[in-house]
């Protein structure tokens, strides 16, 4: 009998029989279920039909996708979510508290947990070794009622990252490189497991960026082991007691293994249309940009923002360019103030919007004009994603975004860090 991958370990520990193998269909207990203002109103109708009452301590509703409400229709949807959470005594993370995946990584998910939510980026918490996966409203309504769900245990693809990320190259560049190898469906139904010397060196902040975008290759989830860096991260959020070490077994069975040498990596850029349409920065240089967006559940963690602030220090954004920064959570926003980063950003010419999904979801916060080009630190650049199908979106790291904001065209951050 072979050993277990991280996905097999985490799913197995949530089944009645205690262990599973890739390919099995199993029913699992869930530690947290969550939804938000974009799916919540539909899910609440379904819960009523099911006569389901979610568990008070394990169900979270977020109001994050269209905040602050730009229209009366969204305000009404958000009121539906707010009232439902309040009447049923559920955990509510309201307007301004932050993006669901960021708040979950700060306050809820712990190594070994299993979470499901009505959002495709629910795999983000894999960066701290919690199994997360996104589903639709129906599945989550049922998971809220029963505190369990069904899933097929995924096969795993090991992404072995050797070497060390060079100066000016970050986790975002690494995941974009991974997506360029896998394509938009190269990991459909599967789990990505990141490991290797470069991952050992990466703080949980960067690991969360990797796992966040696994779904852009079709993956069900993505996981990184829980080690001392995970412990350090949990300590920062006063949750050290939730730490435990988790590793895949040495003899675990992987469907395939991809080796990437981090030391040779350059800043990567996803060209408009698809997050896997990736080229090295040298091929994107000098593309003129109208708007730079620093935000989303992919980046905008404190580590990212320190790097961004370092680049903006005593510099200003290019004339005629819109620079929009959307902190990913209230906790992060406070840290930005305490560390003086907020002042640096505003001095540089940034419009700082309240925490939430912002323009990444195309409902609020800096929707571009026709034919404009956005450079974004977010996860998706599909047609219409940012609210205007006539605009184009490039994706890259926060450092590349900051350097680009200064010059007004896509710029190699290694000139600035």
Partner 1 sequence: MSGRAWKFGDNISTDEITPGRYMGLRSNITELAKHTLEDARKEFPSSVRAGDFVVASKNFGMGSSREHAPIVIKTCGVTAVLAVSFARIFYRNAINIGLPAIACDTTMINEGDELELNLSEGEVQNLTRRIKIHFPPMSREMQVILSEGGLIAYVEKHGDLIFS
Binding mask 208-237 toward partner 1 (x if CB under 8 A, else -) reads: -------x--x-x-----------------
Q: Is the peptide bond before 396 cis (omega within 30 degrees of 0)?
A: no
Q: Is 147 in the site for partner 1 (CB under 8 A)?
A: no
Tokens 């981090």 found at: 262
* From 76, 86, 228, 371, residue interacting with partner 1 (rule: CB under 8 A): 76
Q: Is 14 in the site for partner 1 (CB under 8 A)?
A: no
Of 45 and 347, CB closest to partner 1? 45
Q: Is 266 in the site for partner 1 (CB under 8 A)?
A: no
Of 136 and 340, CB closest to partner 1? 136
Contact assessment for residue 85 and residue 95, using Cβ atoms and an 8 Å cutoff: no
**Closest Cα to residue 116, out of 254, 10, 193, 9?**
10
Of 349 and 387, CB closest to partner 1? 387
Q: Is 378 in the site for partner 1 (CB under 8 A)?
A: no
29-54 in b/e burial notation, b at 16+ Cβ within 10 A? Answer: ebbbbbbbbbbbbbbbebbeeeeeeb
What are the backbone angles phi and psi of residue 105, rounded to the nearest 5°? -70, -25
Q: How far is CA 88 from the centre of its chain?
A: 28
Smallest separation, CB 215 to partner 1 (Å): 8
Q: Is 372 in the site for partner 1 (CB under 8 A)?
A: no
Contact assessment for residue 359 and residue 381, using Cβ atoms and an 8 Å cutoff: no
What string of DSSP letters covers 105-165?
HHHT--TT-EEEESSGGGGGGGGGT-EEEE--HHHHHHHHHHSEEEEEPPPEEEEEEES-P
Q: CA dihedral in degrees (12, 122, 197, 169; nearest 10)?
A: 170
Smallest separation, CB 202 to partner 1 (Å): 26
Smallest separation, CB 157 to partner 1 (Å): 14
Q: Is 146 in the site for partner 1 (CB under 8 A)?
A: yes
* From 188, 228, 282, 371, residue interacting with partner 1 (rule: CB under 8 A): 188
Smallest separation, CB 281 to partner 1 (Å): 24
Of 160 and 383, CB closest to partner 1? 383
Segment 274 to 303, residues that bind partner 1, using CB under 8 A: 274
Of 115 and 204, CB closest to partner 1? 115
The structure tokens listed for 56 are: 């008070």
Q: Give just the sign of the alpha carbon dihedral 232, 234, 240, 243.
A: negative
Count the site residues for partner 1 by CB under 8 A. 55
Smallest separation, CB 82 to partner 1 (Å): 14
Interface region with partner 1, contact rule CB under 8 A, candidates 107-115, 138-146, 348-356, 405-413? 138-146
CB atoms inside a 10 Å sphere around CB 236 = 15
Burial-class residue 367 by CB neighbours within 10 Å (0-12, 13-18, 19+): middle
Residue ranges in contact with partner 1 by CB under 8 A: 25, 27, 38-39, 41-42, 46, 49-50, 65-66, 71, 73-74, 76-77, 80, 118-120, 122, 134-139, 141-142, 145-146, 148-150, 152, 184-185, 188-189, 215, 218, 220, 274, 361-363, 367, 380, 382-385, 387-389
């Amino acid at each position: 009998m072979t050993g277990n991958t991280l996905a097999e370990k985490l799913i197995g520990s949530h089944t009645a029989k205690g262990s599973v193998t890739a390919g099995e269909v199993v029913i699992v207990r869930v530690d947290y279920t969550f939804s938000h203002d974009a799916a919540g109103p539909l899910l609440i109708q379904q819960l009523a039909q099911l006569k389901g009452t979610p568990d008070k301590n394990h169900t979270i509703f977020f109001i994050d996708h269209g905040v602050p409400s730009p229209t009366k229709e969204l305000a009404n949807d958000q009121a539906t979510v707010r009232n439902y959470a309040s009447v049923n005594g559920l955990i509510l993370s309201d307007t301004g508290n932050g993006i669901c995946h960021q708040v979950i990584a700060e306050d809820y998910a712990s190594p070994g947990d299993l979470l499901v939510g009505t959002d495709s980026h629910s795999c983000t918490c894999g960066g701290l070794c919690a199994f997360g996966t996104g589903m639709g409203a129906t599945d989550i309504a049922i998971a809220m009622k029963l505190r369990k769900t069904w899933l097929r245990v995924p096969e795993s693809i090991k992404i072995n990252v050797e070497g060390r990320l060079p100066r000016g190259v970050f986790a975002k560049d690494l995941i974009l490189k991974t997506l360029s190898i896998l394509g938009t469906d190269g990991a459909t139904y599967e789990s990505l497991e990141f490991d290797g010397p470069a991952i050992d060196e990466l703080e949980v902040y960067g690991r969360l960026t990797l796992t966040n975008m696994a779904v852009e290759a079709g993956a069900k989830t993505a996981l990184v082991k829980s080690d001392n860096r995970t412990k350090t991260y949990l300590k920062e959020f006063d949750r050290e007691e939730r730490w435990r070490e988790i590793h895949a077994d040495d003899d675990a069975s992987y469907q395939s293994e991809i080796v990437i040498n981090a030391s040779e990596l350059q800043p990567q850029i996803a060209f408009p249309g698809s997050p896997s349409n990736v080229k090295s920065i040298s091929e994107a240089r000098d593309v003129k940009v109208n708007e730079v967006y620093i935000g989303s559940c992919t980046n905008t963690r404190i580590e990212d923002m320190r790097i961004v602030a370092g680049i903006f220090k005593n510099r200003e954004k290019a004339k005629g360019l819109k620079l929009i920064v959307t902190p990913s959570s209230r906790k992060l926003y406070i840290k930005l103030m305490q560390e003086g980063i907020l002042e640096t950003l505003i001095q540089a010419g940034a419009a700082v919007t309240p925490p939430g999904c912002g323009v990444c979801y195309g409902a609020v916060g800096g929707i571009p004009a026709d034919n404009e080009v956005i450079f974004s630190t977010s996860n998706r650049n599909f047609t219409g994603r940012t609210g205007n199908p006539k605009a184009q979106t490039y994706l890259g790291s926060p450092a590349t975004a900051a350097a680009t904001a200064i010059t007004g065209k896509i710029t190699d951050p290694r000139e600035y860090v």
